Amino acid sequence: MPGTIPLIGEKFPEIVVETTHGAKKLPDDYRGKWLILFSHPADFTPVCTTEFVAFANKIEEFRRLNAELLGHSVDAVFAHIKWIEWIKEKLRVEIPFPIISDPNGEVAKKLGFLHAQSATSTVRAVIIVDPEGIVRAVLYYPQEAGRNISEILRLLRILQLNTELKRAFPANWPSNELIKDSIIVPPAKTVNEAQERPTKFKCYDWWFCYEEGKVSKEEVSRIKNWFKNISD
């Protein structure tokens, strides 16, 4: 039976995994860094190959944000090694991050990565773990839909900014249709605070207030650039 999906706000479960870079103890070996753990259905498959190339092409952006990538599938380590050799030889892209080998599916079962209809087929899961080992985001995609790596970068940066600024972020940030690259002030907790909100912030109403200029224009521009084609 599939395991329980780690919940946002929980500590990531302690687990030792075998990877293409040797054994890793999770989450301890990534303490002090953000961890992007992502599963893929299988090696030597077209969609997964495009995802790995896309992750590899963005690796410096992840590391610039103090984040490390860690792949996973139920393939054996020799399959991972041969696959990444093939990617390097045929596509001229080196995969610089480790991949968990999980041929018995134990890691997938523990983390709830399995499809309901299968004991061996994994979903395209993404778990973002903060430097303290706390789960901050969980994303799931079906087998037929490849992930947008820029969106994972955007989500990572939003989580980091939320930790720093204690603010929420609107849809499509930093290109929101209503408030552009502004960020949202938390809801008022008292009547007096609600009455004061429009005097301190820009507001549509006291429950929908926002701040401009909290994130630098340079950073906003960099995040927008993530969504441009690599060829640009």
pLDDT, tens only, 201-221: 999 999 999 999 999 999 999
Residue 25 lies in a domain: yes
pLDDT value of position 118: 62
- In this predicted model, what pLDDT tens digit does every residue of 151-162 receive, in sequence order? 999 999 999 999
- In this predicted model, what pLDDT tens digit does every residue of 33-50 receive, in sequence order? 999 999 999 999 999 999
Residue 196 lies in a domain: yes
193 and 112 together in one domain: no
Task: Report the distance separating Cα 46 and Cα 26, nearest Å.
Answer: 29
79 and 182 together in one domain: no
- In this predicted model, what pLDDT tens digit does every residue of 108-126 receive, in sequence order? 999 989 876 566 678 899 9
28 and 111 together in one domain: yes
Q: Indicate left, alpha or beta for 66 from its phi (over 0: left) and psi (-120 to 50: alpha).
A: left
Q: Long-range contact list for 108-111, CB < 8 A, 24+ apart?
A: 108/3, 108/39, 108/72, 108/74, 109/1, 109/2, 109/3, 110/3, 110/13, 110/15, 111/3, 111/5, 111/6, 111/13, 111/39
Q: Which domain holds residue 107?
A: 15-147
| pLDDT band of 86, cuts 50, 70, 90 | very high
- According to DSSP, residue 175 is labeled S
23 and 102 together in one domain: yes
Residue 131 lies in a domain: yes
- Number of domains the chain contains: 2
CATH number of the domain residue 180 falls in: 3.30.1020.10
Residue 153 lies in a domain: no
Residue 8 lies in a domain: no
Residue with the bigger pLDDT between 117 and 140: it is 140
Catalytic residues: 48
212 and 100 together in one domain: no
Number of neighbouring beta carbons within 10 Å of residue 16: 11
192 and 108 together in one domain: no
CATH number of the domain residue 60 falls in: 3.40.30.10
pLDDT value of position 5: 84
pLDDT value of position 228: 73
For range 65-91, the mean pLDDT: 97
51 and 114 together in one domain: yes
Q: Indicate left, alpha or beta for 95 from its phi (over 0: left) and psi (-120 to 50: alpha).
A: beta
129 and 219 together in one domain: no
Residue 161 lies in a domain: no
